[in-house]
Each structure stands twice: as structure tokens, then as C-alpha cells.
Amino acid sequence: MNSDSLDQQLLQQFSCLGTTDKDELIKQLQVLVGNNLSYTTAHFFLDMNNWNLQAAVGAYFDFDNPAKLPSMALVDGEITNDALNLPPSTSVMKKLILWNNGDEPWPDNCALIFAGGDVMGDQRKTLFGSS
């Protein structure tokens, strides 16, 4: 079954629904998302969405398939005690090595952005990623 026919089938099933009986809505949610959904879980998603079946289906699939986010780890870039004891107006170059330790690629135009603290140069944004 392709996604277009599945979408059409879901739309048809939604258009046929017109009950306010909570037990019936729970049964319908279980049928729509799969019979492995427990009564309690179906009740939770429907109650969370004010007993709107269409919203509950959307919330269930959003929860069941959360968006995967890119990840990173700082491999090298720790501050040593020597770097903390510099006289004023001393030029310092700091090198950070980042590693994508997740399953998702970094998106195009991903950047490190200065967010707070003492400004230590004129560059507030460094682009990296796929592009």
C-alpha cells in the first residue's frame, strides 16, 4: 500500500467518525494506529487532545517517531591553567575540535554562535556542516 492510498484511507476513516462516546473513540484510535496500543495509552492521547481523534492520532505518531536531531561532542578544546593566567591584551588562539557523534548529519549552514560571556574576538559565528 503506497502512502497516497494510506492517506486517502485515513481521511475517509476520519470523515466517517462522528462519536463523542469516549470508549468508542478509544477503540477507533486503537484501530487507526494499530491494535498494539493499550486502552490506557489511547485514553491518554485522546484526553491530552480534548478527545479529538484526529489530533490524538497526530500526537501519537509525533511521540512515536520523534524527530532525530544532530549531535556533537567536543573532542579537544579544554582550557588549561596556563591559559587562565595570561596578562591583559595577550593574543590567544583557541582551537576547538568537534565531532558528530550522532546518527544524523549536520544540516547545511550549521554554525557555532557566540551566545554569552566575554567577547574574545570579532568573529561571533563560525559555519560548518555539509555545505
More confident residue, 43 or 35: 43
Question: E strands, the chain, where?
Answer: 73-76, 97-99, 110-113, 125-128
Lowest mean pLDDT among 21-30, 41-50, 72-81: 72-81
Say how far apart CA 33 and CA 14 lie, in whole Å.
12
Contacts of 49 (CB under 8 A, 6+ apart): 55, 56, 59
Say how far apart CA 118 and CA 21 lie, in whole Å.
60
More confident residue, 131 or 116: 116
pLDDT at 2 over 70: no
Predicted local distance difference test score (pLDDT) of residue 19: 61
pLDDT at 87 over 90: no
pTM of the predicted structure, to 2 decimals: 0.40
Determine phi and psi for 63, rounding to 5 degrees.
Answer: -70, -40
pLDDT at 118 over 70: yes
pLDDT at 23 over 80: yes
Domain residue spans of the chain:
3-64, 68-131
Averaged pLDDT score across all residues of the chain: 78
pLDDT at 21 over 80: yes
Predicted local distance difference test score (pLDDT) of residue 15: 55
